[in-house]
Structure 1
């Protein structure tokens, strides 16, 4: 099997987001959108995975990114925003000596999935350059895919540089490529910037390859929202909605009841056992593990929690950094803060807050109590109004 490396372009600031925060750090389902293409690249077996960042982003998340995803992920810096072709060239030092296929992804495409990459890989086996496309009812702003009479792609023209006839084309470039390396780095050095934006376009790679007699394949994919990038807050909200439903459907097919999938917010690290029922309005963030045969909600917020099987978490509880053993009952209106450990068959009732404390097996704190930095033994009944 041909080795495949990956470059993920994430240096753009994303001006249309109207934000002080770099675009790729905006969250989708509780995770920075950049994490999704990085995770996908790792899942697909690409190595190394080179994330191209701006100097500002490198200082903000470069080290954390490598720590989060491991040694297969490395970063490269694009010192000046000179275009997508230039961004790919910024990764060539890390890939010095690499020979094989190079996947080029973007940091603002959190919905891209394994099926899209598999389709691209199949096309890439029989070509030197393969890229994904889709059709849009309104293609304004996107690069158009120009084909010849035989239906073969001959170039990609950006919207600002397109002629009136070319702007009528509804097939657009998704910006996801699979190309031969190290050829791609030699080719990109020949890319000029005689265009409306004065930048080095990665899209010029298609025409360069054809001029050299190389094979180019354009792979049209359904689901434009899945393979196109996020540019503004409207698209961000839509991406979160679609990704959340993807997570919900996966859990439901595994035996979890989610009463209202559109009103339950999940994350990529949410794990739930079969026969558990999740009522509307629940939000799960970070690493959440819930066992089987539980009832959660409505309106529960969990962040980085572990919940054993047969647990009931009642309405409007807030739980963070805690663990709950089998058969316990939490809520309604309970708060479990970091370090809280609720033992088997224990009970935490309404308006009870627990912080960095342990409730032993069968212990009860039924109402109006604050338990902080305490150890409550098995079977203890904590009266209302207790403060530790």
Structure 2
């Protein structure tokens, strides 16, 4: 069964007060319309596949550019004449679809399970409609049902009777039908209304007039179908989304020091007894092992953290692998390609890049180690730098098991430090050091007796 999805993303979004198209504003670090596309793809895959058509207008080229890697086809709505007109622009591409689902690019958090239920309702009806029940339905079109529960009409708030105004179930605009039905109904829409627009929801009346059943599906929570028209609504949905992530993590065994101060902008999987302190941000795909601890104000992206490891405050990890029982930070930065083996330690104000740190090795503070491989039991003193870049090419530094690197050492790559070798503090090492050797490479100290300090003159 082919299920095509049409996503309406042509609106200007003037109330956002932004040069960025509304649908590109982000929830959980991702453009709103991308959330919609991903859930739409899940729905299509459930039914065996289908195409996703995104209708763009204002800022269309920006939207296309931002989402160019996603598997969608683009439909241009050169004039914005309402939702019915927008879907009609995609009609040539969806006429042959067994089923068609219509979504909105500024309604980002509808669950895939809800969409699957909505499309599945077409087994027993030519049209299905997503509704929601609100505590305060003021301003929304009311869903009027028959005695058997089918939708008979949508009555706008201004046109509703006293009885109809008491109805709390309202229209969301999200609906599903067949390509054949839409091919018949959309050309019959008219713009005989105050706005002079073609409304997609007018097809509900067409379906009822034909004697067809309109099947309602009710969203469980309001936020699933909440649209974004301004930055306050954007912020509200962001916090609701993040609270769902926090609740999930706590249910899976995490302790969150403050569930309202965590941001998951990707996927975060955890083991039991993970502790996450405040103001942490997770992006991309992050995995945290059992018993690990994440300090406050950390940013962790596309990284794996092993069991029992401790990430201290204000630490940044990007595409890094931290083994079991490691210690990182505070104020450390692990850049892409960093890999820590078990019980390794990276201390404060240490930056690593494309570096493997062996079991039990330590880079305690104030160092930069890049393009390097450290064996087991290595100790790197404060102020150490691997000079890995000559302005054109990168070179590797190798520090073998048990080596001791004195403070303020510069290791000019390519260079190798042998097993149990030592470099004296303040050395600039340009040649490899054999196993067990001591390398001292610094200017000879000269002490001058009777030296007079300069005196300030006027």
Q: State the secondary structure of the residue aligned to 1:195.
A: coil
Q: Please state how far the C-alpha of 1:23 moved relative to its aligned partner.
A: 1.5
The residue number in structure 2 matching 1:13 is 12
Instruction: Provide closer, same or farther for how the CA distance between residues 154 and 192 of structure 1 changes in structure 2, counting only shifts above 3 A.
Output: same
CA distance in 2, matches of 1:58, 1:290: 39
The residue number in structure 2 matching 1:83 is 82
- Residue of 203, 208, 217 corresponding to 1:205: 203
1:60-79 alpha-carbon deviations (Å, 9 max, x no partner): 343664634x4xx4333323
CA distance in 1, matches of 2:149, 2:194: 27
CA distance in 1, matches of 2:218, 2:366: 60
Q: State the secondary structure of the residue aligned to 2:99.
A: strand
Which has the higher mean CA deviation after the structures are superposed, 142-151 or 338-347?
A: 142-151
1:342-370 alpha-carbon deviations (Å, 9 max, x no partner): 33321111121223333233221111222
The residue number in structure 1 matching 2:61 is 59
The residue number in structure 2 matching 1:355 is 353
For the aligned residues, what is the CA RMSD?
Answer: 2.6
CA distance in 2, matches of 1:93, 1:308: 52
Choose between structure 1 and 2 for higher RCO, CA contacts under 8 A separated by at least 6 residues.
1
Instruction: Provide closer, same or farther for how the CA distance between residues 324 and 171 of structure 1 changes in structure 2, counting only shifts above 3 A.
Output: same
1:199-235 alpha-carbon deviations (Å, 9 max, x no partner): 2111111011112222112334442222221222111
Q: Please state how far the C-alpha of 1:129 moved relative to its aligned partner.
A: 1.1
CA distance in 2, matches of 1:280, 1:18: 31
- Residue of 104, 107, 115 corresponding to 1:106: 104
1:81-123 alpha-carbon deviations (Å, 9 max, x no partner): 221112212222333422x221212122222124423542454
Answer with 1 or 2: which has the greater Rg. Answer: 2
Within 5 Å, which residues of 2 pair with 1:154-173?
Answer: 154-158=152-156, 162-163=158-159, 165=161, 168=165, 170-173=168-171
Instruction: Provide closer, same or farther for how the CA distance between residues 308 and 60 of structure 1 changes in structure 2, counting only shifts above 3 A.
Output: farther
Q: State the secondary structure of the residue aligned to 1:93.
A: helix
CA distance in 2, matches of 1:42, 1:50: 7
Instruction: Provide closer, same or farther for how the CA distance between residues 148 and 375 of structure 1 changes in structure 2, counting only shifts above 3 A.
Output: same
TM-score of the pair, normalised by structure 2: 0.75
Which has the higher mean CA deviation after the structures are superposed, 256-265 or 234-243?
A: 256-265
The residue number in structure 1 matching 2:272 is 274
CA distance in 1, matches of 2:384, 2:324: 25
The residue number in structure 1 matching 2:177 is 179
The residue number in structure 2 matching 1:232 is 230
CA distance in 1, matches of 2:243, 2:315: 23
CA distance in 2, matches of 1:319, 1:297: 12
CA distance in 2, matches of 1:342, 1:221: 46
Conserved? CA contact 1:50–1:91, under 8 Å:
no
CA distance in 1, matches of 2:275, 2:183: 52
Instruction: Provide closer, same or farther for how the CA distance between residues 339 and 158 of structure 1 changes in structure 2, counting only shifts above 3 A.
Output: farther
Q: State the secondary structure of the residue aligned to 1:94.
A: helix
Pair 1:35-2:34 in alignment: yes
Instruction: Provide closer, same or farther for how the CA distance between residues 306 and 57 of structure 1 changes in structure 2, counting only shifts above 3 A.
Output: farther
The residue number in structure 2 matching 1:329 is 327
CA distance in 1, matches of 2:172, 2:303: 37
CA distance in 1, matches of 2:322, 2:181: 55
Q: State the secondary structure of the residue aligned to 1:262.
A: coil
CA distance in 2, matches of 1:164, 1:26: 34
Q: State the secondary structure of the residue aligned to 2:80.
A: coil
Q: Please state how far the C-alpha of 1:3 moved relative to its aligned partner.
A: 4.2
1:32-73 alpha-carbon deviations (Å, 9 max, x no partner): 2222222222223253242323256553343664634x4xx4
Instruction: Provide closer, same or farther for how the CA distance between residues 368 and 268 of structure 1 changes in structure 2, counting only shifts above 3 A.
Output: closer
Q: Please state how far the C-alpha of 1:177 moved relative to its aligned partner.
A: 0.6
Q: Which runs of 5+ in 1 are unaligned?
A: none
The residue number in structure 1 matching 2:411 is none
CA distance in 2, matches of 1:287, 1:92: 37
Q: State the secondary structure of the residue aligned to 2:189.
A: coil
The residue number in structure 1 matching 2:392 is none
Within 5 Å, which residues of 2 pair with 1:298-337?
Answer: 298-337=296-335
1:140-191 alpha-carbon deviations (Å, 9 max, x no partner): 44333345687653333556xx336489454321111121222112211111
- Residue of 366, 369, 373 corresponding to 2:367: 369
Q: Please state how far the C-alpha of 1:284 moved relative to its aligned partner.
A: 0.6
Conserved? CA contact 2:11–2:58, under 8 Å:
no
